[in-house]
Amino acid sequence: MLNIPIEEEDSLKRLNSSKIFKERNKNFGTRKRVKEVFSSDDEILKKIFDARAAKTLGGCPHCERPFSLFKKIPKKLAFKCKCPYKIHPLKGTHYEQSRTPLTETVELIYELFRNKHGVPATALQRADGGDYDTCLYNLHRASDWMGWSLEGQKFTPGSTIEFDEVYPKAETGLGEYYKFKRGKGSERTHGILVMTERDDPEKGIKGITKAFHFDKTNSKEVEALIKKYVRPEDKHKICTDESDYYTFLSYNGYLHHTINHGNKEYINKETGCSTNTVEGCNERVKTTIHRVYLGVHPEYLQFYINRVAFNHSCRAKNFFEVMDVLFNSLPDFYNCVVRKAKRKSRKRKKKEQYRPAA
């Protein structure tokens, strides 16, 4: 093998990645093409039905006919067999009780994926009309679906993973003159742990990104998240900075490399350790929350970082490949996803009872 210096090797990787992104931008998919492929609710429902049927063993539980013989019921979001058995493909998904047409849902996901920094609910309301609460709920529901898709993906054994934490500002509602704490216990910022896997075309590794909201004052929570998604027996090469959150890695069988940002060290030429990839995702998180949404409440923060992590994981794919990833993430017909996005209950005003004057 040729002994290529690390600097030249990095430049070659950048050239290859730039070619990949140029091809991706050409074949990303225009609005016209998206409307042609996903032209009706029946076509989208058929793709969801086929994706879930491929994961379901057997066929009809009554007559054991294969799912390929099921036919669409007119004017209903369901398929039926020759016997009376029916299947509703949206049952057990994020859109089980949704009244929004599936074509509008695909257009919403297209806008979220096309704009890497996100789209606020107000912009959706101005473009499509409707109620603001409905637009916000659809936004959370699509982000929840993206988070569910990432939950089912796992890091490739033997890959290089970068860890870093980012602290975007929080929407506290405590007022301008509230005396905030300083340091990690401050209410001004959130704590987000980002895990980014590097792409390696030689090994056939297409890196994914996961991001999680955590308590800044509890280092055990960071340790639990890393142990849940990264196992020592997979022999990952882990790159981090000098933060105290990651001191447990070397004592638990992880191959851990660090760089010292305090000494202006951003890449170790001997080990190849750096956190430049995860820093790019951190910048997306900050820009999304600071400039687009102007601060996010902690209750809904995970929805927004799910979408940013999903976009970063699918950065080399076009929109049609992204929809295939989302469709294939759905479970079989006899299981359901864990939905976290819930609509706020509206308090109905009680009608004042008429009381005759005494």
Query: 228-275: per-residue pLDDT in tens?
Result: 999 999 999 999 998 889 999 988 989 999 988 888 888 888 888 889
Please check the confidence at residue 167 and state whether its pLDDT lies above 60.
Answer: yes
Residue 18 is predicted with a pLDDT of: 62
Q: Which domain holds residue 55?
A: 27-151+301-338
C-alpha closest to that of 118 among 307, 245, 251: 307
Across 90-119, average pLDDT? 90
Across 163-168, average pLDDT? 92
Across 271-283, average pLDDT? 89
Q: pLDDT band for position 24 (50/70/90)?
A: low
The tally of domains found in the chain comes to 2
Q: pLDDT band for position 22 (50/70/90)?
A: low
What CATH number is given to the structural domain containing 193? Answer: 3.30.420
Q: pLDDT band for position 11 (50/70/90)?
A: low
DSSP at 90: T
Across 104-127, average pLDDT? 89
Query: Would you give the end-to-end CA distance of the chain in angstroms?
Result: 101
Q: How far apart are CA 284 and CA 276, in angstroms?
A: 13
Q: How far apart are CA 288 and CA 269, in angstroms?
A: 32
C-alpha closest to that of 118 among 358, 334, 310: 310
Report pLDDT digits (tens) over 57-104: 888 888 888 999 999 999 899 999 988 899 999 998 999 888 899 999
135 and 159 in a common domain: no
Domain assignment present for 17: no
Residue 266 is predicted with a pLDDT of: 85
Residue 348 is predicted with a pLDDT of: 41
Residue 144 is predicted with a pLDDT of: 93
Domain assignment present for 11: no
Domain assignment present for 93: yes
- The token duo for 207 is 């890196």
289 and 171 in a common domain: yes
Residue 295 makes CB contacts below 8 A (sequence gap 6+) with 169, 170, 171, 289
Domain assignment present for 31: yes
For 332, what's the count of Cα atoms within 13 Å in the CB-facing half-sphere? 8
Residue 25 is predicted with a pLDDT of: 67
Residue 103 is predicted with a pLDDT of: 94
Pairing, β 209-214 against β 86-87: unpaired
Higher pLDDT residue, 246 or 203?
246
Domain assignment present for 7: no
Could you identify the residue written with the tokens 């980012």?
166
Report pLDDT digits (tens) over 347-357: 443 443 333 34
| Last-in-domain residue among 243, 270, 296 | 296
309 and 288 in a common domain: no
Residue 58 is predicted with a pLDDT of: 85
Q: What is the pTM of this model?
A: 0.85
